[in-house]
Structure 1
Amino acid sequence: MDIAILSVSLNVHSTKRIVEEGQKAGHYVELIDHTKCSVKLGEGKPQIYLGEENVTDEFDAIIPRIGAKVTKHGAAIVKQFEMNNVFSTARSLGIMRARNKIRTLQIMARKGIPIPETLFSINPHNIGEQIELLGGPPVIIKLQEGTHGSGVILAESKKSAKSIIDTFYKMDTSILLQKYIEEANGEDIRIIVVGNKVVASMKRISDLDDFRSNVHRGAETEAIKPTAKEQFIALNATKYLGLGVAGVDIMRSKKGPVLIEVNASPGLQGIEGATGVNVAQQIIQFVEKNGHRSRK
């Protein structure tokens, strides 16, 4: 098959791994920098250009690895490939949904997937009441589109929470508030879903000086076997967002597991290192199963 990886650079570890496994399986794999792509609409079939090169009919499948700063443009390029009947491991709508934490949580709440108590507002005049609706401090304050733990703040007192929230409101920055799950003790679970199966799972334990358990922030990792409920959450969250590949983050609360967020372009370095599972190979096999040759 001819496969395009939509990513800005081959220097990104996860992109490099997927390219390696695709080539190892005998496929032609090319990096397509989606930030350099254009779509031409008008007469005839819509055309996709990489610079001056027309790549409209060059690929049988695409694997999007869309960065946070260019989500809308990247999703639009993915959408055009979809409309041109090219298989994608992530639907453009799924990429947009997963990138916005509020949209993800709204969908999960409607579908009955357990989530932390969450509140979002743009009203700067009742911040105290907003905090109390979550049971008072401490509360977690998150940017709606942050990644790798950036834009996630623990406010331990009402005074500090009000100050931080007020600042974000004045900056016209979209945030959400969540009840702090103290019993999680700085740990969460990352589950990788490919297709309709869980392929790898790990626990992430935060550094002593940081409550966030992201690998990019130095968290320790260990392979685990998720419970049946955790697997149910991960598989259904991925399905409800319309993703073929996803990293699903779950916390273990005293009321049971709760979904924190879903990543449409999960990193592979931490999960492959912790579990020994060849996730990149699983992604290529998913493409082989679902993609199709559209060109002779």
Structure 2
Amino acid sequence: MRILILSRSPILYSTHSLVMAARRRGHSVRVVDHMACDLTILDGKLGVRYQGEFLGCPDAVIPRIGSSVTSYGAAVVRHFEMMKVYTVVTTDALLRARDKRTALQYLAAHQLPVPDSVFTAMPDNVESMLRMLGDNYPVVIKMLNSTQGQGVILGESLSAAQSIAEAFIRLREEILLQKFIVESKGKDVRVFIVGGKVIATMERSARDGEFRSNLHRGASSKKVRITPDEEEISLRAARLMGLDVAGVDILRSDRGPLILEINASPGLEGIEGTTNVDISGHIIKFVETHARPAVV
């Protein structure tokens, strides 16, 4: 099988892990920088050109699209979809999960538990929206385009949160205001799903003085068992988003498990290293059963 991985670099851990897993299973695999792909529509036919040559139709595409290049990366994935190439993550699923506001709207509308959250584009409305979250501080202020814990700030009081949120909005940043789950104690649970099954789980704990549990920010991690409820809502969330490969982040609260975020391109390094599970191998096996022979 000919597999194409869309990634900014072949040396990134997740990309390299997928390449090695594919080769171990006897597949031909190539890493292509999606930002260097040219998209063509000539004489009514779609094509993707890379480094001066047309790529043709591989049997499968595995998108590893970073948040900062979502727009063009999604366009490349859609081009392959229109060429009848199987993609592990569809464009619609990628965009739905990548947009924090859209993801929360979908989850809440389908009775999946999420932290209390409010949105506004008006600086004058910030105070009233903050009051809707209650009188307990801090509150979480997130830039909607943030990733890996960047652009996420704690507002320690009403006045502080209001000042920060209003400043972001005046800078034309879209934001989310979210209730801080004190009882989670700087911890969350990452549930990794492949093909409708939970493959691996880990608990991440923020370092001292930090509330964000992202491994990129120095958090620690360990294996963890999840409850049946946590497994159920994780699988439902991935299915709702249309994701066959997903990382679902859960906060353990007094209300029960809450879905914090769904990742359409979850990193592999932290969870493979923590759990010793060959997640890349699971992804390649899933691709083998779902890829369609390329139409040449």
Q: TM-score range by the shorter chain?
A: over 0.9
SS of match in other structure, 1:128: helix
Name the structure 2 match of 1:289: 289
Q: CA deviation at 1:44?
A: 3.0
Q: Measure, in 2, the Cα distance between the counterparts of 1:120 and 1:78.
A: 30
Name the structure 2 match of 1:270: 270
Q: Does 1:63 align with 2:76?
A: no
Q: Does 1:77 align with 2:76?
A: yes
Alignment of 1:185-264 (within 5 A): 185-264=185-264
Name the structure 1 match of 2:160: 160
Q: Which amino acid aligns with 1:286?
A: F
- Equivalent pair of 1:195/1:244 in contact (CA under 8 Å): yes
Q: CA deviation at 1:226?
A: 1.1
Q: Which amino acid aligns with 1:256?
A: G
Q: CA deviation at 1:42?
A: 4.0
Q: Measure, in 1, the Cα distance between the counterparts of 2:246 and 2:125.
A: 36
Name the structure 2 match of 1:130: 129
Count matched residues: 295
Q: Measure, in 1, the Cα distance between the counterparts of 2:125 and 2:91.
A: 36
For 1:173-207, what per-residue CA distance to the aligned partner results, in whole angstroms no more than 9, with x for missing partners? Answer: 00000001000000000010111101000000110
SS of match in other structure, 1:149: coil
Q: CA deviation at 1:243?
A: 1.4
Q: CA deviation at 1:292?
A: 2.3
Q: Measure, in 1, the Cα distance between the counterparts of 2:106 and 2:38.
A: 31
Q: Measure, in 1, the Cα distance between the counterparts of 2:46 and 2:115.
A: 43
- Equivalent pair of 2:202/2:271 in contact (CA under 8 Å): yes
Alpha-carbon RMSD: 1.1
Gap runs ≥5 in structure 1: none
Q: CA deviation at 1:240?
A: 1.2
Q: Measure, in 2, the Cα distance between the counterparts of 1:93 and 1:28.
A: 27
Q: Measure, in 2, the Cα distance between the counterparts of 1:42 and 1:293.
A: 24
Name the structure 2 match of 1:100: 99
Q: Measure, in 2, the Cα distance between the counterparts of 1:227 and 1:42.
A: 53
Q: Measure, in 1, the Cα distance between the counterparts of 2:85 and 2:60.
A: 5
Q: Measure, in 2, the Cα distance between the counterparts of 1:148 and 1:282.
A: 24
Query: What percent identity do the matched residue pairs reach?
Result: 42
TM-score (ref. length: structure 2): 0.97
Q: Measure, in 2, the Cα distance between the counterparts of 1:81 and 1:235.
A: 27
- Equivalent pair of 1:56/1:81 in contact (CA under 8 Å): no
Name the structure 1 match of 2:49: 49
For 1:88-109, what per-residue CA distance to the aligned partner results, in whole angstroms no more than 9, with x for missing partners? Answer: 1101111111111000000101
- Equivalent pair of 2:120/2:126 in contact (CA under 8 Å): no
SS of match in other structure, 1:199: strand
SS of match in other structure, 1:292: coil
Gap runs ≥5 in structure 2: none
Name the structure 2 match of 1:116: 115
